[in-house]
Structure 1
Amino acid sequence: MSDSSSFWTQANALFRKNLTFQKRNFKTNLRVILIPIVLCLLLVLLQSVINKELDKPSNKCGCECIDQNGDGQCEQVCGIQYSDLSQVATCPIPSPPEWPPVLQMPDPKFRAVRTDFMEFDDLPSESCRRDGSCPVSVLVTGRNQSFGESVAGNMFPNSSDFSSFNGVVLGSASRTENFNFLEPAFFSSLPIYYAQSQCGSNSTFSISVPVASMVLDKEIRCVRGQNLWRNSESDINNELYAGYKKGNSEEKINEILAGYDFLNSNINNYNVTVWYNSTFKNDTGGGPLGMIRVPRSINLVSNAFLQLVGGRSTQMLFDFVKEMPKPETEIRLDFSSLLGPLFFTWVILQLFPIVLTALVYEKQQNLRIMMKMHGLGDGPYWMISYVYFLAISLVYMFCFVVFGSAVGLKFFTLNDYSIQFVFYFIYVNLQIALAFLVAAFFSNVKTATVVGYITVFATGLLGGFLFQFFLNDKSFPRVWIILMELYPGFSLYAGLYDFSQYAFTGNYMGTDGMRWRDLSDSNNEMRHVLIIMVVEWLMVFFIAYYIDQVVTSGTGVRKSPFFFLEKFKKKSTMSSFRKPSLQRQGSKVYVQLEKPDVAQERERVEQSLVEQDTNHSIVCDNLKKVYPGRDGNPEKFAVRGLSLAVSHGECFGMLGPNGAGKTSFINMMIGLIKPSSGTAYVQGLDIGSNMDQIYANMGVCPQHDLLWETLTGREHLLFYGRLKNLKGSALTQAVEESLKSVNLFNGGVADKQAGKYSGGMKRRLSVAISLIGDPKVVYMDEPSTGLDPASRNNLWNVVKRAKQNRAIILTTHSMEEAEHLCDRLGIFVDGNLQCVGNPKELKGRYGGSYVFTMTTSSNHEADVENLAKGLSPNANKIYQISGTQKFEMPKQAIKIADVFRAVENGKSRFTVQAWGLADTTLEDVFIKVAREAQPFDVLS
């Protein structure tokens, strides 16, 4: 037995085949790559249109005639115009205005009141919301209650001096913007509030706020500020966070102005923790600009402590808040970053159905089984297939990123390329592993394609219109975000969304996009996404491999759930022979009434197993296959205890009607199905435990041609030749000889794609594949089906030459083919081997009659019948039409010389137009055996 090809030889063969296959699909690959390129060009075009619109003069920093001295004469002032606030984003601001410090104050309808979900009763009743009189509440706690309450009592003044705003506690319910060149509190429609310990009857004023070269008039209203003591920080925490947005309606929102924990503070030690409402942070500008109102809360408590220590006149003034200067900027809307998560999710996910359909195609066409039966192991298949799809995916992503960067999309150019590479590399690995896993559950390419593309579009839409809202909602529990990211499509979307946000911010603020240091930022999901994808990649890969080996039948016989432990078991060989025994099925015993030749074959098998005779390439030992009953139907016995031995250099023919069990027998021998009991040995190796070694020296010509449509005949033979360990000139010579032997060498046929072959040409190529590499055992299932007479005769010559140094098992419905090729024949009926022998023996054993035929005029039919009866009284008329009659006569009752003599005598009495005497044909034997075959007798 020749050595099987090594792991790397098999890997090399599959890798070369995949490269050739990829070259054949160049146009398809080009179309795939063009999709992201076209999408990037579309984004660039949209970006250009939007930029053109933004560059209109109405969006530029302009000039305005302003009366600066109040003399009725206006002067042309260029730059930021406060009458047109939209210009703030573009105009240069070398000296930003100074704004009075403002607290982030709850809106009157959201200020904290007593509710049914809060245990504290020192808050006002809900009725104050109807007239807007609810106070703003500050929660205070600490180890020293008297000290804490004393400090808190100094926070809100009894009266306010509006001549200097630094002594007034101002607040606003307006939200901050991405910049603070114009404080929204003074430009929004919402009023400004000032907090005091008590509000008088006339508590609404109109004030003038000088800002730069202009004065703003604004209504200001008094609001009562109250300090509420809580016994612990957990009470404050519950009231601040558990009470915020408790329920779905706005009426349930209960906002607190601030919370203070004085910890271990005393008159000599100042130590305080401040709580603030972080939902007012505006993160779209790249930083928590809403925190610009937090310093006023800190200043408020600091001043209260200073007044407690040094008196009411002691305070730390907070004069103003102002932005940093900025140059003139252009308004640019980064369209690629805004739409990137959705569009780029579709672009990357497009690879999933491509990989999935490729895997399902090999499964549907049984190509993987065909490769396995010719020696390709699972290890090389998984390694090369995985690396092959990974290489395609990386090339695809490289083209995608390079082209997107080349056309200037900020999504790619601003974010660190190393982070992008790591993210895309991990995800495409996860995507390929997922495709291997999903492919195990599909057997039809069209179904897999539809499901794959539905997954692509559904993931993008769900990500853009559902998952993104959860990402933006900072109050949404992060644990649910992480659980949703366990779905790989959402992990991809979350990563792309982070890239888009950093690119958008970087483009707007003139800063960098995402960098490695940003992975520690709690505001993005990238770190979680990378960890989740790496863990899922490894888990999905191993689960996919396990399912492929144990659950799916895509690779033939399913392995034991603990197949990875089998390497510790000893290999089974012919020395593990067990004597066959009767198979019991419930309370019945099925006993085969074997013919003498079949019983003799069984004894031959037993003797071969006991003596470990190496002259037999194939030994079947009481092989059985029973299919379980379904839908109330009984069990189906496909093969009933077959014992057979095939020697080196022998071609054994399997004959039998449809459904006799021939295909089940072949499928057990080539490893597609597992025997119910019994076993078989090929070259001394057990098919139950050593199929991988058997495959290395086995050739198969299946009933249906299993070919790649885009590969040529030569490329098929090169691939299978490499699997059989052929290399260099030996491989080239073997391929050419195989092509010539099946008449596929001349006329450019060898280099023609198999999809363009006729049915007969495909059949001849399948036979050539089964014989290349000098396999020691070959199985041919109806090899000459669909061939013309000339091609069939040529194929027979090929098989006759091939059987000289190998064992061949051949199934056929052609008696002529069986008689021409097979050294021995076995007729198989209802799962039983009915007879075994060479064609001549079978005809002699089962053909016990001659067929006498004579044609005369219809007037002499009676004379012909009398002639036949005279030769043999037991002559049986089996055919009669228009003077032609056929009679079946027992061989023992007549002699051929008597027949000739009787015919010559008959010619003298009437005209004989034609006559003949024929021996029994193999077809007659087949029909007779099939009719006489009886199923198993049943003994109760």
Structure 2
Amino acid sequence: MEEMDSADSPHRRASSFATQSNALMRKNLAFQKRNIKTNICTVSFPILLCAILVIIQKLVDSQLDKPENKCGCRCIDTNGNGRCDQVCGVKYSTKDQIYACAIPEPPEWPPLLQVPRPEFRAAKENSPKESCRKTQTCPVTVLFTGKNRAFATEAMQIFFSNIQKNPNTKLGNLSTDLSQFILGSDTDTRLLNFAETAFFSGRPLYNVQSNCDTSSLTPFNIPALEIFDASENAYDFLNSTTNNLNVDIWYNSTYMKNFFFGGPPSLVRLVRSVNLVTNAFLEIVKGSSVKIPFKFIKEMPKPSSQVSLDFSSLLGPLFFTWIVELIFPILLTYLVYEKEKSLRIMMKMHGLGDIPYWIISYGYFLLISIIYVLLFVLFGSLIGLKYFALNDHSIQFVFLFTYINLQIAVSFLLSTIFSKVKTAQGVLIIILELIPAFSLFRGLYEFGQYSFIGNYMGTSGMQWKNLNDSENGMKEVLIIMGVEWCLLLLFSYYLDKLISVGNRSEKNPLLFLQLLRNKIKLTFTRQNQQGQDSKVVIEVEKPDVIRERELVEKLLADHSTDFAIISDKLQKVYPGQDGNPDKLAVQGLSLALQHGECFGFLGPNGAGKTSFISMMIGLLSPTSGNAYVYGHSIQNQMDKIYSSMGVCPQHDMLWEMLTGREHLLFYGRLKNLKAHDLLQAVEDSLRSVNLFFDGVGDKQAGKYSGGMKRRLSVAISLIGDPKVVYLDEPSTGLDPSSRNQLWKVVKDAKRNRAIILTTHSMEEAEFLCDRLGIFVGGSMQCIGNPKQLKARYGGSYVFTLTTSQSDEQQVENLAHLISPNAKKTYHLSGTQKFEIPKQEVKISDVFQAVEEAKKRFTIQAWGLADTSLEDVFIKVAKGADSFDV
């Protein structure tokens, strides 16, 4: 069927992307404004945790800021004037205080060999020599090897002979003259580094000499020796020759400590070992006259420092993971809330496209997430947490920006799985307990480590150049989160299109993976049942239903677009489950509605009315057949239909935090209303449904009564002048006064639009509807205006009499006296009802017969009424049910 393209097309121009985006963003901001308490609590949480960290840091600093953790000081009269001046330095400090002292000009010290303490020296197991450990007399062991064994042996012979050369030199300058001796020390360099206490304290300072005949030196396979850790040094000459020196020096690591918690790092005295082996090589190549003198060593200058422990860097990864993830359940709850309340579908049916919804929702979530983390980082920096102050802020921003995007993508993904907020929150708690956010924690941990080291060493924290550090996992974390962000976002959008209601997901070519079994079953069912079902329908169809179908066929053949709605043999079959047969909800419904007509659907519960409307508004796809709204097919043109469609669902779909006015402003913008037209339409809508006065329209919808919510839903369906409106039991829950007022609103509205209305109120149907259709068992039983239906199915009067129970037989005799074909339809406690064919009696005859009967027995009450629409409905419904049986 061709769609209308003329200038007078009843379809309102669909709102643009910018208009839809503006409407959705304004709605989101209004919703956010209503959640001010939640927002305050959310922002207060990171402030509270940061404040706790600051308090902990202050307590730790107060404990560390004690004299024993500072450089030692003494009060000395330096000027001889009797005044005491405080002087601080190494010589006034204890062993624990010396770390904090400034050393602007480190002293020069003779180069020493680092040798293991006696208890750590090499001794083969189960040998007499092993007893030397007990007596602490074991000599130092030096190992060597190399591919060129001869060269390695020659070099080591010179090495040991150099050790034994101790000239009798008068000591003048301590650091220079002592450097000519080969001295060794077993001092733990972790404590004093190169400052050798043996020069002052009497601790052993070894004059290193060879303890073996150098001519009998034998190379060893160094890595295989179990005693290697107890040896002083080991030399692997690799491929060294007289033309090339290539040596690996293996050193004893007895005193190496973790400087994070054990103080400064151990400085192993390898430089003297390197110097000795280098001079041995030079003597082989150039002779004994050529050597490299090694006069002294000294430390780098050191400023004064204080023992500190940065708790924000240590505990930050744990605390800040909680803080950043706090926004995640908020995003997920928001998405699932819209799904649970069917608000997403409601927005879609009023013209909001998928692309604007995704872009604006994503942008909105990204905006509040950025504001949240920026406030968090800003506050942490302002209160002085080293975690934020030392690490490069740009890396922090890139990391957190990547993660919050990944977090939003996961929120969209999970929202396709859950349908209720409570379920989502419960499962989310379990997931967060079982599966922590490893990527977030790893990134925060890296920041913490770099800021901790930076604070301890007096340097900066993580910088961009540090991403190339071999032990820095930030680069991998950023890559993983970036890839996950993109993939999860695309997958979430696909799932949303695939399984969300109203998206025509059955048309997606990949859905066969999930529905293949049902498709095969449905195909078989249609092939075997459709012919039979259609035949049955044709056999029981009434003339008015047949005429309606013929009208639809004619309109389709003529490609007519004069009618607002044309339903062409629309059918819906629900596949049977658990061995049950398929459910035929709508059986080939044909219907044509003109512009300005209100059509009422009457039928018992489960008759198929909701299934029909759900197909018309895009919630369900028809199994077969089609329908057209002003020429647009519901099969593949729902996006065009949405722009000119209004829906009042059976259950109110409202944001509890938004006011009635904000609801109408949002949906009005979706219907392309702007500026003055929008404001005027909202005012008129509120007045029409009696929500304008006393500020009711500016109250939150969650505070409305059921009737007020119903009136607001009707106002939403009519705003923006939609040309097709579906009202599903619009007056449910209304008091008589409000119901009558609502009827007037609907009656006025139908003048320039087509309306399909479902109701259980016969009075409502008779007042509002131009035509009615009684729907039973998935098929239309009859079509016509109320008068035609009453005339067709109600060709009798209802004669009612109430007497005492003793006179009931006389009442029955009276009814048959008036009409031999009178049929009793009701009997209870003296009250009886009879159907009397109209063609058999005159009303005057009934009055006369009753007056005469009053002379024989007492008649408490009586009445003669024409057939009501309710009687017609009951009669048709019973007839259809009896036929089905």
Q: TM-score, normalised by structure 2?
A: 0.84
Q: Is the 8 A contact 1:830 1:935 kept in 2?
A: no
1:220/1:394 Cα in 2 relative to 1: closer, same or farther (>3 Å)? farther
2:456 aligns with 508
1:228/1:937 Cα in 2 relative to 1: closer, same or farther (>3 Å)? farther
AA matched with 1:514 = M
2:481 aligns with 533
Please identify, of 298-307 and 813-822, the stretch whose mean Cα deviation from structure 2 is larger.
298-307
2:30 aligns with 20
1:271/1:660 Cα in 2 relative to 1: closer, same or farther (>3 Å)? same
Q: CA deviation at 1:5?
A: 0.3
1:612 aligns with 559
1:228/1:837 Cα in 2 relative to 1: closer, same or farther (>3 Å)? farther
Q: Which of residues 719, 731, 739 in structure 2 aligns to 1:772? A: 719
How many pairs align?
830
AA matched with 2:243 = N
Q: CA deviation at 1:58?
A: 2.4
CA distance in 2, matches of 1:5, 1:652: 28
Q: Is the 8 A contact 1:106 1:136 kept in 2?
A: no
Matching of residues 243-392 of structure 1 within 5 Å: 260=236, 262-263=238-239, 265-272=240-247, 284=260, 295=271, 298-299=274-275, 301-310=277-286, 316=292, 318=294, 321-392=297-368
Q: Is the 8 A contact 1:625 1:676 kept in 2?
A: yes
CA distance in 2, matches of 1:620, 1:283: 81
Structure 2 residue 373 is the aligned partner of structure 1 residue 397:
yes
AA matched with 2:465 = R
Q: Is the 8 A contact 2:24 2:666 kept in 1?
A: yes
Q: Which of residues 393, 400, 411 in structure 2 aligns to 1:435? A: 411
CA distance in 2, matches of 1:137, 1:926: 110
Q: CA deviation at 1:613?
A: 1.5
1:419 aligns with 395
Q: Is the 8 A contact 1:9 1:725 kept in 2?
A: yes
Q: CA deviation at 1:270?
A: 3.1
Q: CA deviation at 1:820?
A: 1.4
The C-alpha deviation readout for 1:660-693, integer Å capped at 9, x for no partner, is 2222222222122222222222221122212222
Q: CA deviation at 1:698?
A: 1.0
Q: CA deviation at 1:365?
A: 1.2
Structure 2 residue 45 is the aligned partner of structure 1 residue 35:
yes
Matching of residues 606-755 of structure 1 within 5 Å: 606-755=553-702
1:669/1:881 Cα in 2 relative to 1: closer, same or farther (>3 Å)? closer
CA distance in 2, matches of 1:252, 1:900: 129
Q: Is the 8 A contact 1:368 1:555 kept in 2?
A: no
Structure 2 residue 203 is the aligned partner of structure 1 residue 216:
yes
CA distance in 1, matches of 2:524, 2:187: 91
AA matched with 2:440 = L
The C-alpha deviation readout for 1:911-934, integer Å capped at 9, x for no partner, is 544322222222222222222225
Gaps of 5+ in 2: 1-10, 76-85, 168-177, 512-522
1:894 aligns with 841
1:588/1:769 Cα in 2 relative to 1: closer, same or farther (>3 Å)? closer
AA matched with 2:102 = P
Q: Is the 8 A contact 1:346 1:456 kept in 2?
A: no
1:571 aligns with none
AA matched with 1:268 = N
1:357/1:728 Cα in 2 relative to 1: closer, same or farther (>3 Å)? same
Q: Is the 8 A contact 2:669 2:678 kept in 1?
A: yes
Please identify, of 681-690 and 855-864, the stretch whose mean Cα deviation from structure 2 is larger.
855-864
2:172 aligns with none
Please identify, of 739-748 and 437-446, the stretch whose mean Cα deviation from structure 2 is larger.
437-446
Q: Which of residues 193, 196, 205 in structure 2 aligns to 1:182? A: 193
1:298/1:850 Cα in 2 relative to 1: closer, same or farther (>3 Å)? farther
Q: Is the 8 A contact 2:551 2:592 kept in 1?
A: yes
Q: CA deviation at 1:30?
A: 1.1
Q: CA deviation at 1:612?
A: 1.8
1:546 aligns with 494
Partner SS state of residue 711, structure 1: coil
Partner SS state of residue 432, structure 1: helix
Q: CA deviation at 1:630?
A: 2.2
1:881/1:254 Cα in 2 relative to 1: closer, same or farther (>3 Å)? farther
AA matched with 1:583 = R
CA distance in 1, matches of 2:252, 2:773: 88
CA distance in 2, matches of 1:172, 1:657: 99
CA distance in 2, matches of 1:359, 1:848: 56
1:518/1:860 Cα in 2 relative to 1: closer, same or farther (>3 Å)? closer
Q: CA deviation at 1:292?
A: 5.0
AA matched with 1:348 = V
1:121 aligns with none
CA distance in 2, matches of 1:112, 1:813: 102
Q: Which of residues 418, 424, 430 in structure 2 aligns to 1:448? A: 424
Q: Is the 8 A contact 1:548 1:555 kept in 2?
A: no
Q: Is the 8 A contact 1:135 1:226 kept in 2?
A: no
Q: CA RMSD in A?
A: 4.1
Q: Which of residues 828, 833, 842 in structure 1 aligns to 2:775? A: 828
CA distance in 2, matches of 1:914, 1:357: 61
AA matched with 1:914 = A
Q: CA deviation at 1:561?
A: 4.4
1:893/1:159 Cα in 2 relative to 1: closer, same or farther (>3 Å)? same
Structure 2 residue 89 is the aligned partner of structure 1 residue 93:
no
The C-alpha deviation readout for 1:781-805, integer Å capped at 9, x for no partner, is 1111100000001111111111111
Q: CA deviation at 1:856?
A: 3.9
AA matched with 1:509 = M
CA distance in 1, matches of 2:640, 2:424: 33
Matching of residues 792-871 of structure 1 within 5 Å: 792-871=739-818
1:584 aligns with 527
Q: CA deviation at 1:346?
A: 1.1
- How much identity, in percent, do the aligned residues show? 56
Gaps of 5+ in 1: 66-75, 114-123, 187-207, 231-235, 244-250, 463-488, 565-579
CA distance in 2, matches of 1:900, 1:134: 140
Q: Is the 8 A contact 1:657 1:829 kept in 2?
A: yes
CA distance in 1, matches of 2:328, 2:131: 57
1:53/1:291 Cα in 2 relative to 1: closer, same or farther (>3 Å)? closer
2:541 aligns with 595
1:428/1:582 Cα in 2 relative to 1: closer, same or farther (>3 Å)? closer
Q: Is the 8 A contact 1:258 1:297 kept in 2?
A: no
Please identify, of 147-156 and 773-782, the stretch whose mean Cα deviation from structure 2 is larger.
147-156
Q: Is the 8 A contact 1:625 1:639 kept in 2?
A: yes
Q: Is the 8 A contact 1:549 1:555 kept in 2?
A: no
1:541/1:81 Cα in 2 relative to 1: closer, same or farther (>3 Å)? farther
Please identify, of 449-458 and 433-442, the stretch whose mean Cα deviation from structure 2 is larger.
449-458
AA matched with 2:862 = W
1:790 aligns with 737
CA distance in 2, matches of 1:587, 1:17: 47
Q: Is the 8 A contact 2:562 2:630 kept in 1?
A: no
CA distance in 1, matches of 2:403, 2:733: 48
Q: Which of residues 12, 17, 30 in structure 2 aligns to 1:7? A: 17
Please identify, of 534-543 and 758-767, the stretch whose mean Cα deviation from structure 2 is larger.
534-543
1:631/1:884 Cα in 2 relative to 1: closer, same or farther (>3 Å)? closer
Partner SS state of residue 845, structure 1: helix
CA distance in 2, matches of 1:918, 1:453: 65
1:93/1:662 Cα in 2 relative to 1: closer, same or farther (>3 Å)? same
Q: CA deviation at 1:33?
A: 0.8
Q: Is the 8 A contact 1:638 1:664 kept in 2?
A: yes
AA matched with 2:68 = S
1:758 aligns with 705
Partner SS state of residue 442, structure 2: helix
Matching of residues 49-88 of structure 1 within 5 Å: 49-62=59-72, 79-80=89-90, 84-88=94-98
